[in-house]
Structure 1
């Protein structure tokens, strides 16, 4: 009984909060429209069995902030992947749209047939460093006459710590998935390896792609069962990583369906072993030199540049970040903000990145007391931001010189990215550029919406609740309401 009364009070407070806001407007149509929005959102929350205080939002046309509609505007909320907009805006301002990460092949001496010192592969947050690009760098060393090296060093020290995976706790129960990839200054193939498994009624076989010398897939411990093929997933307890004297083994354990084929890209082995095996194999293929040691070392004194690969520009990378909601690339970019400023003693790169973002927000004269930032991607249990701060940042970005680059990176309603199958009705399709956000306890939308008069609105809306998925229609209704609005002055 008390619980029902409490929910009713919260819903009433929700109604009154926007009613108070709308009472500022003498225009009757506007006043009525906001009450209709409020009533609809309240009813939807109640139908979804969500408390009113789970919702927070701000929306207003950029040319007239006085028409703002909001609820709990200053409440610090979990933003999920809408936090990528903050990282994107800060990066455009501080790095510029033409910024590129890079991977360098360095030496301690000029190129010669038999090098006296190691070659160095140094990562500087290259977002696009693939096995093909690694082959190209090593081939350039060979083209300059290098045939033998005492070792090859891998330098990941541009980020501090260089090996975050050694201490980081898993975000959820699927740590091998791409979205859980931790940052790495040497982002080689994004540490992802393909695996293909195939079974008959009485046997199972498997392989990696690409295949790597020194990496073996062991399937002898698998028990074949009649479970449906679609139900099998390589959970951590089913894949055991083992180092042997002559190779590295990935041991498949537990049950696997009969007559089943599975193929996936996953973080299958330790990134150090992955890099070592790949570098050794490619250098042997190119130079013919066998058993070259590959070492993880800071190599600041290696200053002779032999070859370099550069990633796509930031403006291009932002499309992956926002349209596809790429967590791994966002976390790389977030650390780049701090690393680009140079090391300050033993300061962690993530701390430096946070300082850069807060300094940027302060330079705009905005209050960032609602902000908690951990990795800049929203894939976090701790990150927070208020709708008021998010909309203020978006308003600044819309008026800034790099607005086209940001806008082009955001999903277009009903057309592409994470909104391809959302807002597909004629009234909304193509009328909004919105970043989505989803966690188990969060749904969110933030970005820009065009109304019937052609005006651009800025909006940030969040629902935080263990059952937040029930509230997606609430946020969609807010966007649909904005698309129906008209500039009252244009009707006179």
Structure 2
């Protein structure tokens, strides 16, 4: 999901990172299309704030570059680097595993010992998958666990990365959830507030015992239509034994409101979710929750496999899921970690740079922090990103990579853009949005049916209207001179 940053100048970031300050530069003869220049002027944006690279892939056309070698913040278009690297390095059929272990015997429905849940870094271990895994555990003959529920979160060597708190410091927003070896349901809880016949009810999913509700919502008379943005507010208050969420505001009869929050740490959420489902299935866990590694002599009881990587990257790119992208980034590090790597983020950076070098793609402008683009530090150049897209076009996994991106005017983060235009349905484009960044990167067809790799990234303290400028880049790219073959058909 695309998210917000406080305004930050590029020069300030480069100085902070110790990177050289690059003045805007263009090759001889390079110039922005007039329609794009006009759009920039209309929205009062300087042309040097835009970096552009467009490369024809399977037909005639003149490549266009503008400020293409300037180091810029790519926002969520950075996910294309992470997902393409994962496709080639892990393989499109790669899966993650989540397992339950026991360290004692099972007699008459009782596991006489501890139950271990070992996370394998699955980016998409949702409540449905967890329910099925626990159903398998019940089918294995377990009803009561006499010992503890032990959470093994050792799969990743976690990096110490700065928290992203540039938009008010509200760490409960789900898009800020950090990666974890045992990530369940993206660590998010859904709060549903509904007014039935003048009485307000609030429920949570999953219903975790340590998350309590303080219902202060006032009931309003029934209305002909329910507001799309009702006045319902959620304020978590952390306590020693959990979290109380104060829900206030007002809601009309017959209306409801849903809101997602991440109010628990990973271990508390995982333990609470397991216990909630296990109780619904008629089971008991008599001991406490704790964090520890699975003993070597423990035996595996049941295992769940994640969806294949191709499905994972579709969720990441279509909907710009930051947490899943970070999870995938660390998975690359964990897969290829060496003793010289201090953590899995550093391992992932090393592996991706080596992979790019083998392809002959220069990565001098590339700075990766978490692989999601939700960062003030991450950097690319438009030319480097376009070269990566050009290489991906020739990859055996090109179809999987391209189809993971939003389709203009149809789905994902592009579903509301370029509607009723010539580009609708003809471009697979990853978007990127931060407070000081607007970006697009992907593939787009022209009027002749030929495909281009296109990257357009605008870094500006106030990029208002920049999305319209980037849409104009795609519209202008579509209007290539008509080929003789297309003219003859007419």
232, 236, 240: which one aligns with 1:239: 236
Q: Distance in 1 between matches of 2:444 and 2:285?
A: 59
Aligned partner of 2:249 in structure 1 is: 256
From 122, 126, 140, the equivalent of 2:122 is 126
Residue in 1 that maps onto 2:398: 403
Identify the match of residue 140 of structure 1 among 136, 139, 142. Answer: 136
What does 1:93-242 align with in structure 2 at a 5 Å threshold? 93-108=88-103, 111-113=106-108, 114-146=110-142, 147-161=144-158, 168=163, 170-173=165-168, 174-197=170-193, 206-219=202-215, 230=229, 232=231, 234=233, 238-242=235-239
Q: Which residue of 1 aligns with 2:69?
A: 74
Cα distance in 1, alignment partners of residues 99 and 149 from structure 2: 13
Does the 8 A contact of 2:330 with 2:345 survive in 1?
Answer: yes
Match of 1:53 in 2: 48
8 A contact 2:231–2:251 mirrored in 1? no
1:21 to 24, 29, 45: 29
Alignment counterpart, residue 336 of structure 2, candidates 341, 351, 354: 341
Q: Secondary structure at the match of 2:467?
A: helix
Residues 281-320 of structure 1, C-alpha deviations (whole Å, 9 max, x = no match): 4334546435332211122525522111111111112211
| 1:477 alignment counterpart | 472
CA distance in 2, matches of 1:134, 1:340: 24
Q: Distance in 1 between matches of 2:34 and 2:114?
A: 69
Question: Quick check: which has more Rg, 1 or 2?
Answer: 1
Tell me: CA distance 1:311–1:64, structure 2 relative to 1, closer, same or farther (3 Å).
Answer: same
- Is the partner of 1:359 in helix, strand or coil? helix
In 2, distance between residues paired with 1:396 and 1:288? 52
Query: 1:487 deviation in Å?
Result: 6.6
- Preserved contact between residue 21 and residue 69 of structure 1 (Cα < 8 Å): no
Q: How many pairs does the alignment contain?
A: 455
SS at match of 1:138: helix
Q: Deviations over 1:420-454 (max 9, x none)?
A: 22222352122211111111111111111112222
Q: Is the 8 A contact 1:197 1:204 kept in 2?
A: yes
Contact 1:17 1:71 in 2 (8 A): yes
Give the gaps of 5 or more residues in structure 1.
1-12, 23-34
Distance 1:262-1:488 versus aligned 2 partners, 3 A rule: closer
Q: 1:476 to 1:118 in 2, by over 3 A?
A: same
Query: What's the Cα RMSD here?
Result: 3.2
1:365 aligned residue:
360
- SS of the aligned residue for 1:469 comes to coil
Alignment pair present for 1:350 and 2:358: no
> 1-side partners of 2:457 and 2:245: how far apart?
43
Q: TM-score, normalised on structure 2?
A: 0.83
Within the candidate set 423, 433, 440, 2:418 is matched to 423
Given that residues 56 and 63 in structure 2 are in contact (C-alpha distance below 8 angstroms), is that contact kept between their aligned partners in structure 1?
A: yes
Question: Distance between the aligned counterparts of 2:338 and 2:232, measured in 1?
Answer: 41
Task: Report the more deviating stretch, 106-115 or 199-208.
Answer: 199-208
Equivalents in 1 of 2:446, 2:341: separation in Å?
50
Aligned 8 A contact 1:89 1:406 in 2: yes
Alignment CA distance shift 1:430-1:132 (3 Å): closer
Secondary structure in 1 matching 2:267: helix
Corresponding position: 1:272 with 2:280: no
> Structure 1 residues 187 and 308 mapped into 2: Cα distance closer, same or farther (>3 Å)?
same
Q: Residue 103 of structure 1 aligns to a residue in which SS? A: strand
Bigger relative contact order, structure 1 or 2, given CA contacts below 8 A and separation 6+? Answer: 2
Residues 232 and 251 of structure 2 are in contact (CA less than 8 Å); yes or no, is this contact kept in structure 1? no
The Cα offsets for residues 89-110 of structure 1, whole Å up to 9 and x where unpaired, read as 1000101110112211123456
CA contact (8 A) 2:105 2:112 kept: no
8 Å contact kept, 1:177–1:267: yes
Kept in 2: contact 1:445–1:460 (CA 8 A): yes
Cα distance in 2 for partners of 1:51, 1:320 equals 34
TM-score using structure 1 length = 0.83
415-424 or 358-367: which moved more? 415-424
Which structure has more helix as a fraction of its residues? Answer: 1
After superposition, the C-alpha distances for 1:147-198 in whole angstroms (9 at most, x for unaligned) are 4341121111111229x79x73535334222211211221212211121335
Are 1:431 and 1:483, in contact at CA under 8 Å, matched by a contact in 2?
A: no
Call closer, same or farther: CA 1:346–1:448 in 2, change over 3 Å. closer
Gaps of 5+ in 2: 1-22, 222-226
How big is each residue's C-alpha offset from its partner over 1:17-74, in whole Å with a ceiling of 9 and x where there is no partner? 47x336xxxxxxxxxxxx7x53332232222111221011011212479821111110
Alpha-carbon distance change, 302 to 345 in structure 1, aligned in 2, over 3 angstroms: farther
